[in-house]
Amino acid sequence: MTFLDQLRTAERQNGSLLCVGLDPEPAKFPAHLKGDASKIYDFCAAIVDATADLVISFKPQIAYFAAHRAEDQLEKLMEHMRRTAPQVPIILDAKRGDIGSTAEQYAKEAFERYGADAVTLSPFMGFDSVQPYLKYHGKGAFLLCRTSNPGGDDLQPQRLLDVPGQPRLYEHIASLAQGPWNLNGQLGLVVGATYPAEIERVRALAPTLPLLIPGVGAQGGDAVATVKAGWKSANGETTAPIVVNSSRAILYAASGADFASAARQEALRTREILQAATR
């Protein structure tokens, strides 16, 4: 089953567009775990177990593990997710952007060491920074396109004067991902929930690609506007999945021993809002 097939299956089985981002910060853990980086796996596994039937994907952010020398805990968490929630694809949020043999090693890290189903990439160095990941049949790669941070304005909406039609940079990335770069149907795009008009534009340029949409929840993105901009249907089913990520609002929904059940309730609430927007 390809990554795109996995997304569609999880969307249908769990009735969800919600992705839970796993960004563990020990300083924000509930009281009985707070400040203890050795409990990163325990915290994240509890969140996974509480929400596995509510999501279209999980998205562990590699820096939150590496900063605490917790790569072994990430490996253990990936194994746990594959074993207990095999229907839910895993996106490794790494935002790699190198080329050549270095990119090959990053691809090996994502897909062989950690066993991710997809990875996030920066396409700034061009197709050379994407191609090594496409050698892994069935795996996915989400390219940064129009991101949710304010600093994205420094580059992403600027026009490319030497390209026919003078598209904005993010529009050009979307067109390349939909077209010549998408050799085996493995690519998707990252577009921020804080820019619904741009999400709509990207969807028009890349109608068949999955969209990973961070920024809902703590970052202030409007969940309903996000879905209406990016989710398109045919006969009541999505034509290309959207994966709407929420991290902190779910992970840290409560600070007590009930943190996992509180995370489940917040995930339920968010899933319902997202699903309602498709009707």
Q: What pLDDT digit, counting tens, does each position of 73-100 carry?
A: 999 999 999 999 999 999 999 999 999 9
Per-residue model confidence (pLDDT) at position 217: 60
**Which domains are assigned to the chain?**
3-276 (3.20.20.70)
Inter-residue contact 239 to 208 (CB < 8 Å)? yes
Q: Is 244 exposed, middle or buried (0-12, 13-18, 19+ CB in 10 A)?
A: buried
Q: Provide CB contacts within 8 A for 66, sequence distance 6+.
A: none
Per-residue model confidence (pLDDT) at position 225: 87
Q: What average pLDDT does range 46-55 have in this prediction?
A: 98
Per-residue model confidence (pLDDT) at position 148: 86
- The β-bridge relationship of strands 237-238 and 233-234 is antiparallel
- Mean pLDDT (the chain) is 94
Confidence of residue 30 (pLDDT cuts 50, 70, 90): very high
95 is catalytic: yes
Per-residue model confidence (pLDDT) at position 220: 56
Residue 149 tokens, joined: 């941070």
Inter-residue contact 65 to 89 (CB < 8 Å)? no
Per-residue model confidence (pLDDT) at position 24: 98
What percent of the chain clears pLDDT 90, i.e. is strictly above it?
86
Question: Would the pLDDT of 144 be above 90?
Answer: yes
Question: Would the pLDDT of 237 be above 70?
Answer: no
Q: Which of 28, 76, 95, 108 is catalytic?
A: 95
Q: What pLDDT digit, counting tens, does each position of 110-136 carry?
A: 999 999 999 999 999 999 999 999 999
Per-residue model confidence (pLDDT) at position 221: 65
Confidence of residue 190 (pLDDT cuts 50, 70, 90): very high
Question: Would the pLDDT of 278 be above 60?
Answer: yes
3-class SS string, 186-242: CEEEEECCCCHHHHHHHHHHCCCCCEEECCECCCCECHHHHHHHHCCEECCEECCCE
Question: Would the pLDDT of 212 be above 80?
Answer: yes
Separation CA 187–CA 196 (nearest Å): 21
Per-residue model confidence (pLDDT) at position 279: 82
